[in-house]
Chains A and B, each alone.
Chain A
């Protein structure tokens, strides 16, 4: 019997193994047959998107001034980000959005139905491989945190008609600043200098119902002389801090950010900025008087000290990615100039039962904070989760909670995007403000909203 086994082995090739037919059978037999030629895209992005939003509003405990929040909004926009290479070293970049919009509080037809947002338009010159000069409207972003970026000094007044409260989406429709920027990048670091001149006097805070049609709104971004310088450098493996200094209105601000990986799945990050300033409430009221929204001699609706001192902003957080491709970000945000307990007490105390003119002024403070992209609260927790291919392939689900630690109220949002095909995406987004009538988010007039989107990419 043993002899038969040896004979059988002898006629097999040396060391041969049985073919692993089960996996070979799964290999597509006509490689490349169903593929098109690879795209040679240059990074340009063009898409057409339709959004329809339904909003649920509540009657806030502090009367909200007219016009009331919209109950429905319809918006169709064409979004483009394109670059033209003018010669070997020079290119021209355009990024913008052309909107057709309607909502229950806007007349139709009206000039408000057609709008264009010029996000960026600048000339880029690269004299050598590592040096860049840019001039024009540029969206200059700084920072490493997700929910709040203290070192992102050019964020103020820059966001127009956001589709989502998600901070990462807010930045997608943000106006750049007219500036000159020079940057040198080398192995292990970079040095950046940006200078933005004052071209306009400060203008009143915009509402959704008084946005200009085709005006690029440089009054939002170039109402003060501003200078930003930042440097990043590698100190050691995985230790490359970025230091930022920023000048505006005769005052200097300083900032720093740092990231570090811990193990395979976690990244820790911290971002800090500090500078001489007054409280948010005082700055809002002062801005209202300066721009004529609030009568110059009107007494402040809440006590707001004009005293300036060095105030800190901080965002510290961590991201963690699970084995099944879900990434969580948890952050703590500190905004020293934000509303203190006393400010909240005064705000509600002055607002409940107040005449419309007082209530309008109180809401102006909150509108100012939103336009400045500053948290209203001093202490906030931010948790975000993002799941790729959630439950089924090509379904991305994202959600976040932004909680005011003082009163436990929160803004929550969840969205789902399904990539139907290479060119089409459908999505749904829902958000809600949770909390008691005397809380940060619970006192807002917007209770909840649902947004449905359809996008065609080109």
Chain B
């Protein structure tokens, strides 16, 4: 074999190793995000009461309660959500169907209105919906490094620092910075960015407790990076595994829905 051929073989081998190493690293980052997804939400259908409290300049200002019924769609590997408004009373009984097709139902008019993905992102139902997103499906992750950061309770947490880029049109944000605790895969902190790169929200998970077969966060704190006085806490309670038939995600089902 000529020296040229030897050199070529070495170069090809090095390139293959580099590509393989890169692939391994990316797979590892995706695995971290996927494992953190399973901490955030169980794989089986479940319901929870989501209580959102808006704080203005540190004072609780507004509160709303949603019952969220979530079921993993095996085709998309994303959760379909049926969100029922529980409180305040002016919204009681309204529902948002957030699956492949999005509908909003108001029992006062018995009217179902088709809504756009953009409307999915507005209002309180959006928060309950976004928090069930399987990030590993919608984003491509890379590891930016390892850092020890303070969590919401100012405890030190050794974390992977991940950089998530939107990989599907359904991804809510263009970019997410994500800190996941090493070893436990607990989601600790996220930073959400707009298409233009502007920081929109900072999210901390806290109060991890044993629920639905795993240690899961009971509260998310969402800090508005645009409005410096606005903070929303999102508390998950009354979590239960629940049988959720696929027919629930039809708009014709909405007028028949009965609260449990």
Contact A171 B114 (CB under 8 A): no
Question: B167 near A: Cβ within 8 Å?
Answer: no
Contact with A along B18-51 (1 / 0, CB 8 A): 0000000000000000000000000000000101
User: B147 near A15 (CB under 8 angstroms)?
Assistant: yes
A186 to B152, CA, bound (A): 44
Interface string of A19-34 (1 = CB under 8 A from B): 1100110111001101
Beta-carbon contact of A16 and B118 below 8 Å = no
A31-B116 contact given A15-B146, A425-B90, CB 8 Å threshold: no
CB distance from A138 to the nearest CB of B (A): 9
Instruction: List 7 tightest A-B contacts by C-beta distance, closest first.
Output: A190-B252, A171-B109, A43-B93, A187-B246, A457-B89, A265-B118, A39-B87
Closest B residue to A394 using CB positions: B62
Which residues on A sit within 8 Å (CB–CB) of B231?
26-28
A126 to B258, CA, bound (A): 11
B159 to chain A, nearest CB (A): 9
Contact A17 B147 (CB under 8 A): yes
Query: Is A38 interfacial (CB-CB < 8 Å)?
Result: yes
Q: Is A327 an interface residue (CB 8 A)?
A: yes
User: Using Cβ atoms and an 8 Å threshold, which residues of chain A touch B228?
Assistant: 26
Task: Tell whether A35 pairs with B150 under 8 Å between CB atoms, given A45-B93, A91-B258, A240-B101.
Answer: no
A269 interface hit (Cβ, 8 Å):
yes
Q: How far is the CB of B223 from chain A (nearest CB, A)?
A: 5
Q: A439 an interface residue at 8 Å Cβ cutoff?
A: no
Set of chain A residues within 8 Å of B49, measured between Cβ atoms: 38
Question: Judging by beta carbons under 8 Å apart, are B89 and A28 in contact?
Answer: no
Q: Which of A246-254, A276-284, A317-325, A355-363 contacts B (4 or more CB under 8 A)?
A: A317-325
Which of B's residues lie within 8 Å of A, judged by CB? 49, 51, 53-55, 58, 60-63, 65, 84, 86-90, 92-93, 100-102, 107-119, 122-123, 145-150, 152, 154, 156, 169, 202, 204, 206-207, 219, 221, 223, 225, 228, 231, 233, 235, 237-238, 245-247, 249-253, 256-259
**Which residues of chain B come closer than 8 Å to A35, judged between CB atoms?**
51, 53, 60, 63, 235
- Bound: A259/B101 CA distance, A: 10
Number of A interface residues, CB 8 Å? 83
Q: Say which one of A139-147, A204-212, A288-296, A401-409 lies at the interface with B.
A: A139-147
Bound complex: CA of A185 vs CA of B252, how far in Å?
A: 7
Residue of B nearest to A422 (CB): B88
Min CB gap B56→A, angstroms: 8
A24 with B108, Cβ < 8 A, contacts A45-B89, A45-B92, A189-B250 known? no
Whether B145 contacts A265 by the Cβ 8 Å rule is no
Does chain B have a CB within 8 A of A132?
Answer: yes
Interfacial chain A residues near B113, Cβ < 8 Å: 144, 146
- Evaluate contact between B55 and A28: CB separation under 8 angstroms: yes
In Å, the complex CA distance between A192 and B250 comes to 13
Contact across chains for B235 and A31 when beta carbons are under 8 A apart: yes
Q: Which of A27, A41, A419 contacts B92 (CB 8 A)?
A: A41
Q: What is the chain B residue whose CB lies nearest that of A145?
A: B113
Q: Is the beta-carbon distance between A43 and B259 smaller than 8 angstroms?
A: yes
For the complex, what is the distance from the CA of A183 to the CA of B252, rounded to whole Å? 9
> Could you say which residues of chain A place their CB within 8 Å of the CB of B154?
19, 24
- Tell me whether B223 and A26 are in contact (CB under 8 A): yes
A129 contacts B245, C-beta separation under 8 Å: yes
* B101 CB contacts on chain A under 8 angstroms: 238, 240, 259, 261
Contacting pair A419 B90 (CB below 8 A): yes
Partner of A192, one of B54, B252, B257: B252
Cβ-based interface call for A232 (8 A): yes
Cβ–Cβ contact B108 & A388, under 8 A: no
Q: How far is the CA of A47 from the CA of B65 in the complex (A)?
A: 18
Give the residue among A31, A263, A393 with the most B Cβ atoms within 10 A.
Answer: A31
Report whether B87 and A38 are in contact in the complex, using a CB–CB cutoff of 8 Å.
yes
